[in-house]
Amino acid sequence: MELPYSIVRNAVWIFLVFIVSSSFIVFFSSAAHEEYPFFSWALFQNAPQPVGHEDVIRFTHIDGRKLDEPVYTYDAAEVLGIVGRNQFIVWEQYLVAAITHKDAEAIRRHRLDFEKIINRPISYQLVTIEYDTIERWRTGAILSAEVIQSYTSGDGKH
């Protein structure tokens, strides 16, 4: 049975109104702005501030050797022999979120994932850094770093 044109047209209109409305609902109701199969398309919706804070992981030991200075994940491409932080940033962010939310099960799971991705014996710390956004980009300088938690790969202890 063929549907009349007017029904198809109205259905398309309802579909579009539904899509835009659901995007707004997901934006205001979900922390991740996503409830599959709905997404708000909120990408980088907040402007960065002149002085920023970031929870980030830094390595203190790699392959059992203590590093002269802790190496932040965003500077770790050379010491880890990888292309860049984008290779593991998603898993790093999960782990950071789990630690900051003090979710023991999520920490265990995301530590395993993170350590699998790095795939070398490591000791690492979660630190909160404070930085001048422009200056950090120009010179890499940060204003301060506060250690939140320390881990060693494979020890399974928090």
By the 8 A CB rule, do 61 and 123 touch? yes
Edge-to-edge strand order for the sheet containing 65-72? 65-72, 51-62, 122-132, 144-152
Q: In this complex, which beta carbon is closest to other proteins, that of residue 66 or of residue 138?
A: 138
CB of 68 to other proteins, least distance (A): 20
- The number of angstroms, rounded, from the C-alpha of 143 to the middle of its chain's C-alpha atoms is 22
Residue 138 dihedral angles phi and psi, to the nearest 5°:
-75, -45
Contacts with other proteins in 22-81 (CB under 8 A)?
23-24, 27, 32-34, 36-37, 39-50, 52, 54, 74-75, 77
Q: In this complex, which beta carbon is closest to other proteins, that of residue 5 or of residue 157?
A: 5
Q: In this complex, which beta carbon is closest to other proteins, that of residue 67 or of residue 112?
A: 112
**Residue pointed to by tokens 């409830």:** 35
Contacts with other proteins in 99-158 (CB under 8 A)?
109, 112-113, 116-117, 131, 133-134, 136-138
Question: Which residues, at least 6 apart from 131, have a Cβ–Cβ distance to it below 8 Å?
Answer: 51, 52, 53, 54, 141, 142, 143
Chain residues that interact with other proteins, rule: CB under 8 A: 2-5, 8-9, 11-12, 15-16, 19-20, 23-24, 27, 32-34, 36-37, 39-50, 52, 54, 74-75, 77, 84-87, 89-91, 94, 109, 112-113, 116-117, 131, 133-134, 136-138
